[in-house]
Amino acid sequence: MAADDTDRTPNPWELVLRAQRIALRAQTTSLAWASGRDFSIVDAKSVSEAFLKAGQELAERPMAIATAQQEAWTGATRAWLGAFAGESKPTKDRRFRDRRWDEDPVSRGMRDAYLAIEDAVDGLVATLPKGSKEALRVEFYTRQFLSALSPANFLMLNPAARDRFVETEGRSLLDGFENLLDDLEAGDGRLDISTNDRAAFEVGRDLATTPGKVIYQNELMQLIQYEPRTETQRATPILFVPAWINKYYILDMRPKNSLVRYMLDRGHSVFVISWINPTKTHADMSFQDYMHRGPLAALDVMAKVTGERRANVLGFCIGGILVTCTLAYLAAKGDDRIAAATTLATMVDFADVGEVGVFVDRDRLKALAEHMEGTGYLENHHLQDMFSMIRENDLVWSFHVMNYLMGRRPPAFDLLYWNSDSTRLPAQMLLWYLEKVYIENGLRRPGYLSLDGTPIDIGKIKTPCFILATKEDHIAPWRSVYPATQLFGGEVHFVLGGSGHIAGVVNPPAEKPKYGYWTREDHPADPNEWLAGASATEGSWWPLWADWLESKDTAERVPARKPGGGKLKPIEDAPGSYVLIRG
C-alpha cells in the first residue's frame, strides 16, 4: 500500500543543503552530456531536422495551420465558457480521473481547454505525410511536449495537489522536494523517478522465492533448476530463456504470479537462465556468445542431469529472439534437441517496431558505438528512459504528480520494481543486434544472419512453436510478432493476449481474470484479418499454453528430479548471485 508518510517532518534547511550537494555532483553529468561526451537516447539533430521538414510541409499548406488554430481557439473558448456554465465534457483520460477536476469550474475549464488544444494539434500532425522516421519523430515528440504541458502536472492547476498543499499547510511541497532529492541521489545527479517503493521488495525474500539451486554457471549466466512440487514429473524438461535487458525473475515474481511455480505445479522439470549484469569485461561478448553460453550450454547441462536428450524451450522478448535464432541455427546443423518452443512478445519482423524506432537509426548507432568504446557497455538507465518516454503519462508524469506535487511515495508494486531492476548491455552484442536485426531486419531474410559462421533461416524451423503476442505491447507490437506464422517452416500456434508487454505475459489464472486472449486455428497473411476472425476468451493464456505443450509430451512421467540429479553439485540456492548484481 502507498505510504502517506505523515510522520515525516522535512527540515527545509537540510533539504537546501542536500540540494546543493546533489547539484555539485550533477554538474559533471550535465557538462558531459552538453559537450557530447555522454550518450543520450535523444538525438537533438534528428529531432530538429524532423520538425524543420514538417514545418516546410505545413508552410505549403497554410490553411491546415489556420484550421488547427481555429479549432484550438474555438475549442478552448467553448471549454472555458462551458465550465462556468456548469457544462462538462466527459473524458476517460486517466490524468483527470479525480472528481475535483469536474467539481471545480476553473480546473474543469483548464482541463477541457487543454484537451481541445491537444486534439487540434494532434489533428494538424495527422495531416503530415506518414511512413518515415521523420514523421514518427514529429508525432512522438509533439506528444511528449503536449503531455508535459498538461495542467495535471502543475501544482496550482491540479486541484488534488492544490487541496493537499492546503490540507498539509504546505508540508506536501516539502515532502515532494525531499522525494525529488531522493530520486536525484538515486540517479547520482540524474533524475531517476521512483515508480515504486524501493525498499518494499528484496529479491530472494519477496520476489524469486521458488526453491531451487544454481547447478551450473559460466561468465554469462547461472542455470537454476527448481525443486519439484509434484511426486512425478513430465519426462521432457523445460528451459526458460528470459531477456537480458532485465532480470529473470519476471518469470518467478511472487507465488501467485510465478510462471515457474505454475509449471512446477503441473509436474514439469523447470530450468531457468539467470543472465549476469555485464561489466566492461563483457564488452566483446557477441550475440552468438549468448547463444553458446546461454541456451546451448543450458541444454547440455539439462541433458546431463535429467538423462533426456530433448527439452522444451521458452524465450521472452529478446530472449525469444535468441531462442528463434537458436532454433534456426540448430535446424541448419540438423540438431533436433528442442522438442517444442515458445516465444513471448518476440518480434520477427522489424519493418514496424512502433515508437522504439524513434530512438534507433544509424546515427544513434554510431553515437552509441563511440560511447561504448569507453564504457564497454550501455548503462541501464538509457533503456529505462526510452521505455518510460514511450508511456510517458503512465511512467513519468503520473509519478511526477504523486512524488513531487502530492508529496507521497509510490506504492509497492512488484512489476514496477522488476522494471526498475534493469541491466547493462555489452557493446558487441548490442551493436550487432541493433544493426543486423533491428535496422536491417535480418531475421526474416534467409541466410542474411550468420551465427558461429553458420547462415540461419527461420523458414527452416520445423520445431512446433507456440507464439504469444500481446495486444497493447509498446515494445514488441503484436503485428510485428504475427509474421512468424508465415515465416516459420513448421507448426505454429499463435495466441494474442490482452494488455501489454509485461502485464499481458504475467497474467496468471485467477478467480477474477484481468485480461483475456484471442485464438484462431488458421493464420491468414494479414494480422488484422486474423484478429477479425479470432475468438476471444476470458482469463489467463497459461493453461492453454500448458495444455498445448503437454500434448506434445506423451512419454511416461518420471520420478521427481532433484536439482543436479546427483550428477552436478549445486553451487548455491536460487535465486543465485548473478541476479543480485544491480545496474
Mean pLDDT of 423-438: 97
Residues 6+ apart with CB under 8 A from 304: 565, 567, 568
Residue 20, pLDDT score = 66
- Place 85 in a pLDDT band, splitting at 50, 70 and 90: confident
Q: What is the pLDDT of residue 3?
A: 45
Q: What number is the average pLDDT over the span 279-292?
A: 97
pLDDT computed for residue 23 by the predictor:
66
Whether 13 has a pLDDT exceeding 90, the answer reads no
CB-CB contact of 465 with 492 (8 Å): yes
pLDDT digits (tens, 9 = 90+) for 355-369: 999 999 998 999 999
Of residues 389 and 16, the one with the higher pLDDT is 389
Alpha-helical runs (H) found in 252-360:
259-265, 287-291, 297-306, 318-333
Predicted confidence at residue 561, as pLDDT, reads 97
- Average pLDDT of the segment spanning 449-468: 97
Condensed to tens digits (0 to 9), the pLDDT of residues 299-337 reads 999 999 999 999 999 999 999 999 999 999 999 999 999
Over residues 8-15, mean pLDDT: 68
> What is the pLDDT confidence band of residue 35, given thresholds at 50, 70 and 90?
very low
CB of 396 closer than 8 Å to CB of 194? no
User: Could you read off the pLDDT of 204-231 as tens digits, one per residue?
Assistant: 999 999 999 999 999 999 999 999 999 9
**Residue 1: per-residue pLDDT:** 39
Long-range contacts of 515-522 (CB under 8 A, 24+ apart): 515/540, 517/541, 517/544, 518/471, 519/494, 519/495, 519/544, 520/494
Structural domain spans, the chain: 12-199+369-420, 212-354+440-580
Q: What would the pLDDT profile of 152-209 be if each residue is shown by its tens digit?
A: 999 999 999 999 999 999 999 989 988 988 898 888 778 889 998 888 999 999 999 9
Mean pLDDT across the stretch 15-41?
60
* 317 a catalytic residue: yes
Tell me what pLDDT residue 8 has: 61
Q: Of all helices (H) and strands (E), which one includes residue 221?
A: strand 221-226
Mean pLDDT estimate for the chain: 92
In angstroms, the first-to-last Cα distance of the chain is 26
Residue 31 has pLDDT above 80, yes or no: no
- pLDDT over 60 at 415, yes or no: yes
User: Sorting pLDDT into bands at 50, 70 and 90, what band is 389?
Assistant: very high
Percentage of the chain lying above the pLDDT 70 cut: 94
**Residue 14: predicted pLDDT:** 73
> Annotated catalytic residue: which of 68, 207, 276, 317?
317
Confidence at residue 198, expressed as pLDDT on a 0 to 100 scale: 85
Report yes or no: 549 and 262 within 8 Å, Cβ to Cβ: no
Fold of the domain spanning 212-354+440-580? Rossmann fold (3.40.50)
Task: Tell me whether strands 377-378 and 425-426 are parallel, antiparallel or unpaired.
Answer: antiparallel
Eight-class DSSP state of 248: G
Confidence of residue 29 (pLDDT cuts 50, 70, 90): low
| pLDDT score at 25 | 59
Per-residue pLDDT at 95: 95
Q: Is residue 38 very low, low, confident or very high in pLDDT (cuts 50, 70, 90)?
A: low
Phi/psi region, residue 4 (left: phi>0; alpha: psi -120 to 50; beta: rest), is alpha
Largest pairwise CA distance in the chain: 79
**Does residue 27 or residue 512 have the better pLDDT?**
512
| pLDDT tens for each residue of 522-540 | 999 999 999 999 999 999 9
pLDDT at 521: 95
Per-position DSSP letters for 142-168, written without gaps between them: HHHHHHHT-GGGSTTT-HHHHHHHHHT
Q: What is the 3-state secondary structure (H, E, C) of 304-335?
A: HHHCCCCEEEEEECHHHHHHHHHHHHHHHHCC
Who contacts 36 (Cβ-Cβ below 8 Å, separation ≥6)? none
